[in-house]
A and B are shown apart, each in its own frame.
Chain A
Amino acid sequence: MNLFTPLSWNDTGFILTGILNTVYISVIAIVVGSLLGLLIGFIRAESNKTVNVCLGAILDILRSVPLIIQLILFSTFIGVMGFPLPPFVTGSIILSLYTMAFMSEVFRSGFNSVPTPMIKAARSLGMNYLQTVRYIRIPIGMRAVFPSWIGVALSVIKDSALVSVIGYMELLRTAEQLISRTQQPLMILIGVGLFYFMISYPLSRYGKYIERKMEI
């Protein structure tokens, strides 16, 4: 009896699910991480030194501890505490927080890039603090850092492969299972690499396009 069966068209659905799961968790992490990052970035841009040092310390931990360790630690921790969560939820939480840590720095520098005289000009027109944030600081600041935002988003897509270690069936884990069945690692990993490229490349092109459009 042959233990190993080669890759066949029957595996298409399985692979597709893996791809979709990668896209799915990446989108969640980018959206949630960006929203939280916008909030934290704004708080950091507006706060005094004490608040900034405290927030900075927490963000530094999220940024400097390797993602794979954060994932394993967190999922083990909640397991030990008696609240095991599905790998998808655990992965989404950690990947979102990790994304937030990077996005907050991106957005903070965006907020800081808006010149004070421009804000004064807006205030002199009668706009209140929140109106200047909404209509001047967010749109102008975010445009300035859009290229960095794309950069972080792209690396999150690739980092999402690490969520496989806690059992989430994303693209890489799907591939690992296929490899163990087919014993064709080279071909499958090349295929997986291509898929990551196919997901990331359009986003990177789109980023370039938007960047050019905003330069007007």
Chain B
Amino acid sequence: MIEIKGVHKSFGDLEVLKGIDLTVNRGEVVSIIGASGSGKSTLLYCINAIESINKGNIIVDGIDVHDKKTDINALRQNLGMVFQQWNSFPHLTVLENAALAPQVVKGFSKEKAEAIATKELTHVGLGDKLHEYPTKMSGGQQQRLAIARALAMEPPYMLFDEVTSALDPELVGEVLDTLRLLRDDGMTMICVTHEIAFAKEVSDKVAFFHEGLIEEIGTPQEVLDNPQKERTQQFLSKVL
């Protein structure tokens, strides 16, 4: 379970998160929507401790992420993260990309790491690309590689930060299909997304962010079909 309690985050004078409370249970898919600059991505970065927080707590399976005593590298193994940009490691093949972290972080043997990596890469449909270099592949393929690379650490949680935003429109589908696959596997996911239709289809909960606060949260039917707040209605009327 991921518990986010009263989280505040500022960059200098700019307060980006103004008290976020959110709970994500195991097996749940939570989508976060909202305008650019509303703090959606920042929250994901705070969950993974890539960014620090100013106030509040983020607790993952009982461990306080921002406690100084927390072993952050151990914690991050439980929180797979995929970014807007796929950041493939250009000097490694597809297989090596996905097998690197299990080897160096978990200390698995090369064979074991590559077995896991092969399994995850096949799962996301890259089974025939194992020995290619990622720089030769399309953005959609590289983003699926990034997903498999995170999955190879076998994390119970996955965080997705606008993973389709940097893709050409015709490549969005294959990445969303991969996310659907993970949902069907029962993966716990937090997806920051601009794909409203997708959020509606896969989410158990949808949170609408507005200027650093959760303006509205509920089931996709509640938030996306019958939004109660005026700001949610305005946002949806613009993007739908």
* Known contacts A117-B85, A131-B105, A135-B100; A124/B48 CB under 8 A: yes
Given contacts A131-B104, A136-B89, A140-B89, 4 further A-B contacts (CB under 8 A): A115-B87, A124-B150, A126-B106, A216-B136
Partner of B153, one of A121, A125, A131, A136: A125
Other-chain contact of A128, B73, B85, B87 (Cβ < 8 Å): B73
**A214 to chain B: closest residue by CB:** B91
In angstroms, Cα B97 to Cα A135, docked, is 11
Encoded as 1 (CB less than 8 Å from any B CB) or 0, chain A from 134 to 151 comes to: 011001100100000000
Contact present for A126 and B89 (CB under 8 Å): no
The range of chain A's interface size is 10 to 19
The answer to whether the Cβ of B149 comes within 8 Å of any Cβ in the partner chain is: yes
B153 adjacent to A126 (CB under 8 Å):
yes
B81 interfacial by beta-carbon distance below 8 Å: yes
A187 at the interface (CB under 8 A from B): no
The answer to whether A125 and B101 have CB atoms under 8 Å apart is yes
A205 touches B (CB below 8 Å)? no
Q: Mark B33-50, 1 if CB is under 8 A from A, else 0.
A: 000000000000000101
A126–B74 CB distance below 8 A = yes
Which 10 interchain pairs have the tightest Cβ spacing? A125-B101, A121-B87, A126-B77, A124-B81, A126-B105, A126-B76, A118-B87, A139-B91, A128-B73, A126-B73
Give CA–CA (A72, B128) in the complex, Å. Answer: 62
Interface size of B by CB at 8 A reads 27
* A123 located at the interface, meaning its Cβ lies under 8 Å from any Cβ of chain B in the complex: yes
- CA of A143 to CA of B89 in the docked complex: distance in angstroms? 12
Q: How far is the CA of A100 from the CA of B76 in the complex (A)?
A: 37
| B89 and A127 form a contact (CB under 8 A) | no
**11 chain-A/chain-B pairs, Cβ below 8 angstroms:** A118-B87, A120-B83, A123-B50, A124-B79, A124-B81, A125-B101, A126-B101, A126-B106, A131-B105, A135-B100, A216-B135
| Contact of A125 with B91 in the complex, beta carbons under 8 Å | no
Would you list which residues of chain A between 179 and 201 have a CB under 8 Å from chain B? Answer: none
Q: Which residues of B contact A124 (CB under 8 A)?
A: 48, 50, 76, 79-81, 83, 150
* Residue of A115, A121, A131, A216 with most partner-chain B CB within 10 A: A121
